[in-house]
Amino acid sequence: MRILVTGAAGFAGRHLLRELAAAGHSPIATDAAPADSPAAAGLPGYVAADLRDGAAMRALVADARPEAAVHLAAVSYVPDSDRDPSLALAVNIAGSINVADALRETSPGARLLFVSSSQVYGAAAASSLGAATDIAPLREDVSPARPLSLYAITKAAAETALLARAEAYGQDVVIVRPGNHTGPGQSPKFVAPAFAAQIVEVAAGRAASVRVGNLDSVRDFSDVRDIVRAYRLLLERGHARTIYNVTCGTRVRIGDLLARLEALEGVTARVEQDPALWRPADVCAPLDTSRLRVHTGWAPAYDLGQTLSDLLASIRATKEAK
């Protein structure tokens, strides 16, 4: 299939382009980055476009004539949404509607895979934890969306808008709710690459400490390569107007994540608490992925040790290349 990928210059986008091409598809990349920028270098069929411009999106889709699309583009870092709510609303909600409408008007029949977030469960996830140590996984058809952050609110709103359009116009829309994922190429804004980059510096003798926030939170870390393979399989085999959880189910305390990175690099770093990184401790609820597995046959291929080892190797390689 010819598959349009929005947000193609981002972390998951680049991995998805490789996954689609390896499976025999023809990806078409788009992002907001200028075509002559380093971020767009090497992206197949790249076209720069602003999701907030409905006319521009219609022109792009009319020219590309994709048979499917993966809508990854978003203001995806939670603090960025908090700092600029207007941008988050315009990109994550209105921009998503623009992509869906462009497909419906110029490429009818094209499947739209919308990448949402497991954060839409929000308060439902928090209430499922309670004092229990054995937490029931959240299911797409049982656990309600009760978002807490502005980012999660925009994702839940976009889901609602796209599914309403699918119902009204018969559009082929699939929703995915991935958990946290990491791997080579992720921005150091996020905790795993932030820790990994600092650990590499400690191992090289250029630093002695690692800045941290709250080490007691628990997160579910999946490998981005497993996540994008799920996206590809859902494009091929997923059911229309259906929501899918996507995660490898590896839940780890943040302090233990740091310890694993230290062990892989063979160092022990001094820990420095950074108030700017501090968040209240919380525990992510597990996600039920039985629907994804039954409909597509997906199963994770990477364990956390391999993911973190590859993340460290990519950071070392980047530093050596500079």
pLDDT tens-place string over residues 75-89: 988 888 999 999 999
In a domain, 111, yes or no: yes
In a domain, 198, yes or no: no
Query: Average model confidence (pLDDT) for the chain?
Result: 93
Average pLDDT over residues 198-221: 93
Query: Which pLDDT does position 319 carry in this prediction?
Result: 84
Average pLDDT over residues 92-107: 97
CATH number of the domain encompassing residue 131? 3.40.50.720
pLDDT exceeds cutoff 60 at 129: no
Structural domain range at position 121: 2-182+224-247+286-301
Query: Which pLDDT does position 132 carry in this prediction?
Result: 46
Confidence of residue 66 (pLDDT cuts 50, 70, 90): very high
Percent of the chain with pLDDT over 70: 96
pLDDT exceeds cutoff 80 at 135: no
In a domain, 141, yes or no: yes
In a domain, 266, yes or no: no
Query: Which pLDDT does position 134 carry in this prediction?
Result: 60
In a domain, 40, yes or no: yes
pLDDT exceeds cutoff 50 at 131: no
pLDDT exceeds cutoff 80 at 124: no
Query: Which pLDDT does position 183 carry in this prediction?
Result: 97
In a domain, 281, yes or no: no
pLDDT in tens, 5-43: 999 999 999 999 999 999 999 999 999 999 999 999 999
pLDDT in tens, 179-208: 999 999 999 989 999 999 999 999 999 999
Burial 260-286, CB ≥16 within 10 A → b, else e: bbbebbebebeeeeeeeeeeeeebbbb
Question: What are the DSSP calls for 158-226, one per residue?
Answer: HHHHHHHHHHHH---EEEEEE--EE-TT--TTSHHHHHHHHHHHHHTTS-SEEEES-TT-EEE-EEHHH
In a domain, 35, yes or no: yes
What's the alpha-carbon Rg for the chain, to the nearest Å?
Answer: 20
Residue 77 structure tokens: 């870092």
Query: Which pLDDT does position 125 carry in this prediction?
Result: 67
pLDDT in tens, 282-310: 778 899 999 999 999 999 999 999 999 99
Between 17-26, 119-128, 259-268, the lowest mean confidence (pLDDT) is in 119-128
Confidence of residue 126 (pLDDT cuts 50, 70, 90): low
In a domain, 113, yes or no: yes
Confidence of residue 178 (pLDDT cuts 50, 70, 90): very high
What does the longest C-alpha to C-alpha distance in the chain come to?
A: 60
Domain count of the fold of the chain: 1
